[in-house]
Amino acid sequence: MSGFGRILVLYGSQTFTAQEIAERIWRTTKALGFRGPVQAMDDYPISKLIHEEFAIFVCATTGQGDEPDNMKNFWKFLLRKNLPATSLVKLKFGVVGLGDSSYSKFNFVGKRLHKRLMQLGATPLIDVGLCDYQHDLGHDAVLIPWTKDYFSKLTLYYPDIGIENSKNKFIPRWKVTLITANPMEGNRLIDDIYFGKGLHDGFVDPLLLQVEKNVRTTSEDHFQDVRLITLKSNVSPLHYKPGDVYNIRPRNSQEDVNDLFSIFEEHHIDIKPYYRLLVEQCHEDMPVPQFLSTPLTLHEIAEQYWDLKAYPTQYVFSLLALISDDKLERDKCIELSSPEGQEDWLNYCRRPRRTILEVLHDFHKTATKLTIEVLFELFSSIKPRSFSIASTNSVQQGRCLDLLVAVVKYYSKLKKPRLGLCSNWLKSLQPGDRVYGWIKKGTLVFPEDSVTPHILIGPGTGLAPLRSLLQERVQQNTATKHNMHLFFGCRYRNKDFHCREELEEYEKEEKLSLYCAFSRDQENKVYVQHKIAENASTLWHLIVTENAYIFLSGNAKNMPDNVRDAFVEDVFCKIGGLSKIDGKSMLQSLENCNRMQVETW
């Protein structure tokens, strides 16, 4: 590979998605003949940025428009007022933002970074790419055409790069070698591969907690299983505030792990669960993560590292096309990985939620060509999941936290039920089981004073962060029916009213005003937005006269927009007498000053 020059690829990621996307972009730069590292922004020596000519930045937006933890120092440096406006005149760049359009500050970090780099004299090769998690195609809807356009613009500086030829090159991140072993050597207790050997991530402070309780909060005849899981620290008190989240990285089920190795066995591929994996650096700009630097068994990798429940992206099919020697399957993989094949990919993968394992069964001739090098690029890594903490740390000496988890199980056109990886793993945990996780600042930030009224809207498991706040205010003896107003919704009062006894007790003791919407307990469906409309006068008074805050938590699909519409039409227009335009403007101003905050998923 001749090598054209250097392209810096930096990422700021809260859930490791930005890192994975940055590595995908890095593979393209390597295939084209460029060099340059892919790093977290805070790992990069930012003083060297003035010498860079080309860079790509991939950054997620977190919280209320906040930058991720591994970007904070980088961003703080860029905001220095004493930086000359010509600091980055050599730099030609592109920014990819990762966001969720259900939040008001959609891709706020990507937009700000793009603008700040220009203020410092850098030249954008292309406009900022605003990826939206809510899109049918996910981030790829924007990422794929954005990447194509970026490298097309790069030909103005490097006319000889062969963009089309690069698609036929397989660029592994690391050198991966299997070490055969005796079956008995692999029969040992599997520890956590990320933190179990005393390893530590610079951006994560791991906690080893023990499951104390795992209780179903819905009735046994209800269609959905929701769990209230209590995790306990046996070492030191936990430190968290209402609104904070607990991050946890799940494990694949034994059924899926067995299925993977059955594919290898069926196709006579010599990859056994007890073999060990040696991962070594093969590019100076792609170091091996610390947790992979010690040989792990394939069973450990299959259980804890590869996401066996993930549905394959179009990129996965481009990799399968490279290894397939069956014309029919190869042509289909090429089609499913092409821009023209996006609708076919949606219908085959995304809409029915077909997993990577199911794809390998379908493309069984291509699966015979799998190697350990290909597998390491084919499977995405298991991402941590974030759950709002549903308790206060002012009880049990601050050693416990609760999670309110809806176990994901549903059906698509495929015969086998679709199971959420993390929720079903959490469901399987028994008292005494130990798990690693870490506490992070959450999206919702509650006022410190105990006087300001709170309008809390949390249907279903959206109750979690609101319960944390309620418990804390009750413990502090500052909760009253005048300053705590909770709108809760579920299907049936007697089947899925989470934490019912606790909430009704708060209401009885006049520590809470409770407004419940049970959508299926009567002929006409009643949702939280209907309860907002019914109590519009009270809400108008709380917002306008008492400067109340609004906190909305729950499913991102339809509920947030319906709640927003109820505030505009029923509270601000019907009661407040505003026009619809002014009502929307009032709601927007509340969001802008964080008097209305939203946490959805």
Where do the domains of the chain lie?
8-166, 174-190+253-378, 207-249+384-440, 454-600
Let me know if domain 207-249+384-440 sits in CATH 3.40.50.2300. no
What pTM, to 2 d.p., does this model score?
0.90
Residue 169: the pLDDT is 75
3-class secondary structure per residue, 65-97: CECCHHHHHHHHHHCCCCCCCCCCCCCEEEEEE
Instruction: Indicate the average pLDDT of the chain.
Output: 92
Superfamily for domain range 8-166? Flavodoxin domain (3.40.50.360)
| DSSP secondary structure string for all residues of 498-515 | TTHHHHHHHHHTTS-EEE
The DSSP secondary-structure symbol of 35 reads B
For residue range 211-240, list pLDDT tens digits in order.
999 999 999 999 999 999 999 999 889 999
Residue 203: the pLDDT is 64
pLDDT-wise least confident of 60-74, 295-309, 513-527: 60-74
pLDDT-wise least confident of 108-117, 178-187, 431-440: 178-187
454-600 matches 207-249+384-440 in CATH topology: no
Task: List, in order, residues 6 or more apart from 491 with CB less than 8 Å away.
Answer: 222, 518, 519, 520, 521
> Distance (Å, rounded) from C-alpha 119 to C-alpha 398?
46
Using pLDDT thresholds of 50, 70 and 90, give the confidence band for residue 382.
Answer: very high
* Percentage of the chain modeled with pLDDT above 90: 77
- Specify the higher pLDDT residue, 69 or 538: 538
Let me know if domain 174-190+253-378 sits in CATH 1.20.990.10. yes
Residue 412: the pLDDT is 93
For residue range 385-415, list pLDDT tens digits in order.
999 999 998 877 789 999 999 999 999 999 9
Residue 466: the pLDDT is 98
Using pLDDT thresholds of 50, 70 and 90, give the confidence band for residue 1.
Answer: very low
Beta-bridge mates of residue 440: 245
Residue 207 to residues 199, 265, 387, 436: CA-CA distances in angstroms? 12, 37, 15, 5
Is residue 477 within 8 A of residue 450, CB to CB? The reply is: no
Q: Is the pLDDT of residue 196 over 80?
A: yes
Q: Is the pLDDT of residue 587 over 80?
A: yes
> Distance (Å, rounded) from C-alpha 309 to C-alpha 379?
10
Tell me the angle at which helices 140-154 and 314-323 cross, rounded to the nearest 10 degrees. 60
What count of Cα atoms within 13 Å lies in the side-chain half-sphere of residue 466? Answer: 31
Q: Supply the CATH classification number for the domain 454-600.
A: 3.40.50.80
Strand, helix or coil at 300?
A: helix
